[in-house]
Amino acid sequence: MPEAVGVVTHAVTGEARPLPRRLASWVALVVLAAIPAVAGGFWTYSVGVCMANAVAVLSVGFLLRYGGEVSIGHSFFLAFGAYCTAILERQLGLSVGIGLPVAAIAGAVLGVAFAWPSRALSGIYLAIATMALALAVPELILQAGPVAGGYEGLYVSRPLVPGLSIELQRYYLPLVVLGLVVLLLARFRRSRQGLVLLTARDHPRAAEAFGFSRGYARLAAFAISAAVASVAGSLLAFSASTVSPNSFTLSTAIYLLVGTVVSFGSLGLIGALAGGAFITLVPQVFAAWGDWVPIIYGAALLLVITLGHRPAEVLAALRARLAGGRRDA
Amino acid sequence: MLDASITAGAELTVTSVSLSFGGHRVLKEVSMDFRPGQVTGLIGPNGAGKTSLFNCLTGLYRPQQGTIALGGEPLERLPPAQRARVGLSRSFQHVALCPELDVVENVMFGRARLGRSGWADAFLPLPAGRAEVEESRAAAMEVLRRLDLAAYAETTPAGLPPGTQRLVEIARAIVSRPRVLLLDEPAAGLNPAETRQLMAVLRGLVSPDLMIVVVEHDMDLIMQLCHRIHVLNFGQRIATGTPEEIRADPEVIRVYLGDSDD
């Protein structure tokens, strides 16, 4: 038995996060907090939306990590949160300060409402079921009538704190909420419920034998994921100042999945920001390339995934090339 | 409350249990009991029905006929998740530990159903939730120390030898102080040294409050460890007794060694 001592390293996802990653998160927060002071309005707007998208990436990543399932339909919950915030402002004059928590709670309920009938599905079958949600979103919004603003959508213009610059609020609210969501999810990993969901993901029969049914695990994972997605939708509505059916199509859902892949399923700040930046900033940075944008996007995605999955091998090969050497077959 | 009505030390009884799959009867009116303070072995040749009976005990299969009761309270209608609440715990033939959790967290999971912390505690640093996690960690560490596994507490299970992984599973199964511990082929895949260590651990678990049920192919382990043994063949119980009685039972000898004139 003693031969295994010292062989196994501590799980990277364990209780104590390695110091460099924690430091990198704090540095990223400081840099993000300084952006509005040093960058122009375009970047303040874009990075604000990027952070809202980072929260959306976390929602898909949570389902993948704790439920072991892939969603191609989280644009549904994103749209729900966004419209929840916009409609509460338009109909009742309530700001995002109310809209956001309402979206979170109602999003969790909606997540349960979807997860219950689909609790027996998994893998590709569940993914396709979620895709049906994404396909239905634009039509559902249009069928909702004038309350949802039709094709033109709705504006979100009421500030969270009256008297302060709305542009700055549109930037700093996503930053604060992103930081909070990362902290809350890190706490969840150490909780009793976190242990249950992770065990149920890998060994559902073991979870059942210890008192937790598969249905419980599925509903819990979906409820939390949908709540986070609704919060992201609320932030997107506030940061982008507008919501419309075109913002929540099947492509949106697929981009969220792409963002999750780019973040490597991380539920940390840096990973979520990488995913959010990839789906927000890459299309903007290459906007001038016109029809080439999808090709550049695809190539960039391939590069990120290859580098991320096999960083040591790829860097070693690059180094060998730069040194004029030849890579062994 | 079902668990409140069951008195400590009550027997686990199986009465006239029959189970069929598509017309094929794998258990035929099987009756037997399992007593507190004892290790009871469930043995039989391949296809005898011992895994099917084990799955009936854990709730994976629901018998078409007969009753399974703990302290007189029927269990056969309870789904697996609810059997844990009345004091049944188990290990798996293929180790079912979560690779992402370290060893102490895997053991803490064994106590998760006892927790009272809500969803707010899961996300927020509230005092009650933190205290519960610390209490759970302390209980898990105590069991790991008892099984001589404390050195592995902060490691992930994937790199541990099979025998150690099996012991971690047993630690997870006993951390909630169950009344019935069901072990599904605990020696499968273990080398002789690991099997001896497992046997020592299981002997150390014997207590008046716990009944241990072992389904196992390793006859040496069964004969050395068990107080009583039930033998199944073709879905029927053919013998019950102490290891000495089972060794001497002509029917058991015939089943395991074949007829002398074969």
Look up residue A66 and give its DSSP letter: I
Do B142 and B186 belong together in one domain?
Answer: no
Whether residue B92 is contained in a domain is answered as: no
Q: Which domain holds residue B28?
A: 9-87+178-262
The C-alpha torsion from A24 through A28 and A29 to A35, rounded to 10°, is 160
Confidence of residue A311 (pLDDT cuts 50, 70, 90): low
Q: Are residues B61 and B126 in the same domain?
A: no
Say how many domains are in chain A: 1
- Residues of B in Cβ contact (< 8 Å) with A13: 100
Contacting residues of A for B105, CB less than 8 Å apart: 14, 195
Is the confidence at residue A323, as pLDDT, over 90? no
Domain assignment present for A296: no
Buried/exposed A18-39: b ≥16 CB within 10 Å, e otherwise = eeeeeeebeeebeebeebbeee
Q: B169 and B182: one domain?
A: no
Distance from CA of A184 to the nearest CA of B (A): 5
CB contact under 8 A, B82 and A211: yes
- Predicted local confidence at residue B259, as pLDDT: 55
Give the mean pLDDT of A172-185: 97
Which residues 6+ apart lie within 8 Å of B30 measured at CB? Answer: B14, B16, B17, B18, B49, B53, B66, B232, B235, B236, B237
Q: Is residue A131 part of a domain?
A: yes
Give the model's confidence band at A329: pLDDT under 50 very low, under 70 low, under 90 confident, else very high: very low
Residue A239 domain flag: yes
Q: B213 pairs with which residues across the strands?
A: B40, B182
Domain boundary among B177, B201, B229: B177
More confident residue, A10 or B209: B209
Residues of A at the B interface (Cβ-Cβ below 8 Å)?
1-5, 7-11, 13-14, 184, 187-188, 190-196, 198-199, 201-203, 205-206, 208-213, 216
Residues of chain B below pLDDT 70 = 1-9, 257-262
Distance from CA of A134 to the nearest CA of B (A): 28
Contact between chains at B81 and A208 (C-beta distance less than 8 A): yes
Strands B24-34 and B39-43: unpaired
The pLDDT value recorded for residue B247 is 92
Domain boundary among B159, B177, B195: B177
| DSSP string for residues in A99-126 | HHHHHHHHHHHHHHHHHTTTTT--HHHH
* Same domain as B104, residue B206: no
Q: Do A213 and B123 touch (CB under 8 A)?
A: no
Angstrom distance (rounded) from CA A127 to CA A23:
36
Contact B79, B100 (CB under 8 A): no
Picking from A3, A7, A8, A228 by the largest number of B CB atoms within 10 A of its own CB, the best residue to mutate is: A8
**Residues 6 or more apart whose Cβ sits within 8 Å of residue A58:** A181, A182, A185, A228, A232, A267, A272
Residues 6+ apart with CB under 8 A from A42: none
What local confidence, expressed as pLDDT, does residue A7 receive?
A: 31
ipTM of the modeled complex: 0.88
Asked if A213 and B108 come within 8 Å (Cβ–Cβ), the reply is: no
Each residue's pLDDT tens digit, A36-95: 999 888 899 999 999 999 999 999 999 999 999 999 999 999 999 999 999 999 999 999
The reply to whether residue B155 touches residue A195, judged by beta carbons under 8 angstroms, is no
CB B40 within 8 A of CB B226: yes
Question: Contact A10/B136, CB-based, under 8 Å?
Answer: no
Q: Report the run of H or E that residue B26 belongs to, with start and end.
A: strand B24-34
Gap between the Cα atoms of A174 and A151, Å rounded = 26
Task: Search chain B and give the residue with CA nearest A214.
Answer: B81
Q: Which residues of A touch B171 (CB under 8 A)?
A: none
Task: Tell me whether residues B113 and A210 touch, CB distance under 8 A.
Answer: yes
Which of A195, A197, A267 best tests the B interface by mutation, with the highest count of B CBs <10 A?
A195
**Residue (of A114, A101, A49, A44) closest to A252 by Cα position:** A49
> Does B245 lie in the same domain as B137?
no
Asked if residue A328 belongs to a domain, the reply is: no
**Whole-angstrom distance, CA of residue B35 vs CA of residue B180:** 9
pLDDT band per the 50, 70, 90 thresholds, residue A327: very low
Counting Cα atoms < 13 Å in the Cβ hemisphere of A159 gives: 11
Sort A60 into a burial class: Cβ within 10 Å, 0-12 / 13-18 / 19+. Answer: buried
Q: How confident is the model at residue A237 (pLDDT cuts 50, 70, 90)?
A: very high
Is residue B19 one of the residues assigned to a domain? yes
Question: Which residue of B104, B123, B172 to mutate against A (max A Cβ within 10 Å)?
Answer: B123
Residue B4 lies in a domain: no
Answer whether residue B38 is part of any domain. yes
pLDDT of residue A169: 95
- Please check whether residues B83 and B139 belong to one and the same domain: no
Instruction: Enumerate the residues of chain B whose CB falls inside 8 A of the CB of residue A198.
Output: 98, 100-101
Of A2, A8, A203, Cβ closest to residue B98 = A203
The proportion of chain A whose per-residue pLDDT surpasses 90, expressed as a percent, equals 65
Looking at residue A40, its pLDDT comes to 83
The CA angle B118-B124-B130, to the nearest 5 degrees, is 70
Which residue in B83, B96, B122 is closest to A205 by CB distance?
B96
Residue in A closest to B115 by C-alpha: A192
Residues of A in contact with B177 (CB under 8 A): none
Beta strands in B44-156 (DSSP E): 65-70, 73-74, 88-90
Q: Are residues B168 and B184 in the same domain?
A: no
Confidence of residue A295 (pLDDT cuts 50, 70, 90): confident
Angle (deg, nearest 10), helices A75-92 and A214-240: 50
Q: What residues of chain B lie within 8 A of the CB of A188, using their CB?
A: 122-123
Question: Cβ separation of A14 and B102 shorter than 8 Å?
Answer: yes
Q: What is the rounded average pLDDT for all residues in chain A?
A: 87
What's residue B138's pLDDT? 97
Alpha carbon distance B239, B232 (integer Å):
7
Which residues of chain A neighbour B109 with C-beta distances below 8 Å?
A: 195-196, 199, 210
Which residue of chain B has the CA closest to A202? B98
Provide the strand spans (E) within chain A: 154-155, 242-243
Token reading at B152:
């592995």
3-state secondary structure of B212: strand
pLDDT at residue A328 in the model: 45
Tokens representing A190? 């150490």
Domain that holds residue A83: 17-285
How far, in Å, are B74, B141, B197 from residue B148 at the CA level? 36, 10, 10
Same domain, B107 and B143: yes
The answer to the question of residue B1 being in a domain is no
- pLDDT exceeds 50 at position A178: yes
In this prediction, residue A6 carries a pLDDT of: 32
Tell whether the model's pLDDT for residue A15 goes beyond 70: no
Is the pLDDT score of A184 beyond 70? yes
Q: Per residue in A120-166, pLDDT tens?
A: 898 999 999 999 999 999 999 999 889 998 999 999 999 999 888 99
Q: Which residue has the higher pLDDT, B190 or A301?
A: B190
pLDDT value of residue B9? 47
Give the CATH number, domain containing residue B183: 3.40.50.300
* Cβ atoms of A115 and A222 closer than 8 Å: yes
Q: Is residue B143 part of a domain?
A: yes
Higher pLDDT, residue A324 or A80: A80
pLDDT of residue B183: 94
Give the pLDDT score at A18: 63
pLDDT band of A168, cuts 50, 70, 90: very high
Asked whether residue A134 is assigned to any structural domain, the reply reads yes
| Nearest-angstrom CA–CA distance, B72 and A294 | 68
Which of B177, B204, B222 terminates a domain? The answer is B177
Residue A8 reports pLDDT greater than 60: no
Question: What is the tally of structural domains in chain B?
Answer: 2
